[in-house]
């Protein structure tokens, strides 16, 4: 089973515009949707669609719309009771696929609520092959919480993946020992740049031009700190998988991008699906790119089906 942990889940309201955003103007939204979301929820949604055993752990009060949405969609989940309602985020997509997100910070978790969340994570981990720690941290959770939880989960014998950014990701990358370093991290180019001091846009542009040296070098600094595998998503340039002794690049053919919301989450879900099936590293990366590309070709925060992901042609190269 793959357990996803989303300490700061959200209700994601997505809408499209008939034209580009014009600041200061009245704009008419189209195709509005509202779904239970957050990175771990999105990953669990993809895993569930593929028939993989999964459990989404979320802090939320009884009868919160997030829980109602998860129940209606049939997503296996477990709620950790908290006092405040789940935040609502807004995503607006322009006709060319440009996506703008407005994310609320989320409600603070008190010490008792945080302790309950930790207990739920550790209990679920005893039945899991992987635990995925994902997304932003709400107020009240220390920035090194993911890093601390990795060590506690490894002590149970569970493999851990982390998909985070900013200070939470920096704390994970600064893990003091191999035991507290995750087995997998999935930064995008901007997040990798936060760790290496590089410009993320430049890294992605270089990859699009076929130059992967700086991305591999930056990823290898994480591997040297004990992180087992680094998957770097690069937008239209595909993704790289970097380990201690090898690197692979995978890229799909051109698509019409409708929305990038959930594409990175779908990529990680695809990688974990292949990994739990015993696929080799290159095939794991190929599957990740097929799922992420399929998601980008769908509107709003729609998560692809296995058939949609499987229909995406992907070129895989060992570098």
Q: What is the 3-state secondary structure (H, E, C) of the chain?
A: CEEEECCCCEEEEEEECCCCCCCCCCCCCEEEEEEEECHHHHHHHHHHHCCCCEEEEEECCCCCHHHHHHHHHCCCEEEECCCCCCEEEEEEECCCCCEEEECCCCCCCCHHHHHHHHHHHHHHHCCCCEEEEECCCCCCCCCCHHHHHHHHHHHHCCEEEEECCHHHHHHHHCCCCHHHCCCEECCEHHHHHHHHCCCHHHHHHHHHCCCCHHHHHHHHHHHCCCCCEEEEECHHHCEEEECCCCEEEEEECCCCCCCCCCHHHHHHHHHHHHHHCCCCHHHHHHHHHHHHHHHHCCCCCCCCCHHHHHCCCEEEEEC
pLDDT of residue 140: 82
Among residues 94, 113, 76, the alpha carbon closest in space to that of 15 is found at 94
- CATH of the domain spanning 2-318, picked from 3.40.1190.20, 3.40.50.150, 3.40.225.10, 3.40.50.10860: 3.40.1190.20
The whole-model pTM stands at 0.90
pLDDT tens per residue, the chain (319 residues)? 999 999 999 998 888 899 999 889 898 988 888 888 899 999 999 999 999 999 999 999 999 999 999 999 999 999 999 999 999 998 888 888 888 889 889 889 999 999 999 999 999 999 999 999 999 999 889 999 999 999 999 999 999 999 998 999 999 988 777 778 999 999 999 999 988 888 888 888 998 889 999 999 999 999 998 999 999 999 889 999 999 999 999 999 888 888 888 899 999 999 999 999 999 999 999 999 999 999 999 987 788 999 999 999 999 999 8
pLDDT number for residue 136 = 93
Domain ranges of the chain: 2-318
Confidence at residue 71, expressed as pLDDT on a 0 to 100 scale: 95
**pLDDT value at residue 269:** 97
Distance CA 156, CA 114 (A): 19
């Amino acid at each position: 089973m793959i357990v996803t942990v989303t300490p700061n889940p959200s209700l994601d309201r997505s809408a499209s515009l008939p034209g580009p955003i014009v600041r200061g103007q009245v704009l008419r939204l189209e195709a509005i949707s509202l779904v239970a979301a957050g990175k771990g929820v999105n990953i669990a949604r993809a895993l569930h669609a593929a028939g993989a055993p999964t459990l989404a752990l979320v802090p939320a009060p009884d009868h919160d719309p997030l829980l109602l949405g998860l129940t209606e969609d049939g997503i296996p989940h477990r709620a950790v009771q908290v006092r405040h309602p789940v935040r609502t985020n807004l995503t607006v997509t322009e006709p060319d696929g440009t996506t703008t997100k407005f994310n609320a910070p989320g409600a603070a978790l008190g010490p008792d609520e945080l302790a309950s969340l930790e207990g739920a994570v550790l209990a679920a981990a005893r039945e899991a092959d992987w635990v995925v720690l994902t997304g932003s941290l709400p107020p009240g959770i220390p920035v090194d919480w993911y890093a601390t939880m990795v060590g506690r989960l490894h002590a149970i014998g569970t493999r851990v993946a982390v998909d985070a950014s900013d200070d939470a990701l920096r704390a994970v990358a600064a893990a003091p020992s191999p035991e507290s370093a995750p087995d997998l991290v999935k930064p995008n180019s901007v997040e990798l740049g936060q760790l290496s001091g590089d410009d993320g846009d430049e890294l992605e542009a270089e990859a699009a031009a076929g130059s992967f040296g700086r991305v591999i070098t930056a990823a290898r600094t994480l591997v040297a700190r004990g992180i087992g595998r680094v998957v770097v998503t690069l937008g239209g340039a595909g993704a790289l998988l970097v380990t201690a002794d090898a690197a692979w690049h995978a890229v799909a053919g051109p698509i019409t991008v409708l929305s990038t919301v959930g594409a990175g989450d779908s990529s990680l879900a695809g990688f974990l699906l292949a990994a739990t099936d015993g696929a080799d590293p290159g095939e794991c990366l190929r599957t990740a790119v097929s799922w992420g590309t399929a998601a980008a070709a769908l509107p709003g925060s729609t998560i692809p089906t296995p058939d949609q992901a499987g229909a995406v042609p992907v070129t895989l190269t060992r570098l």
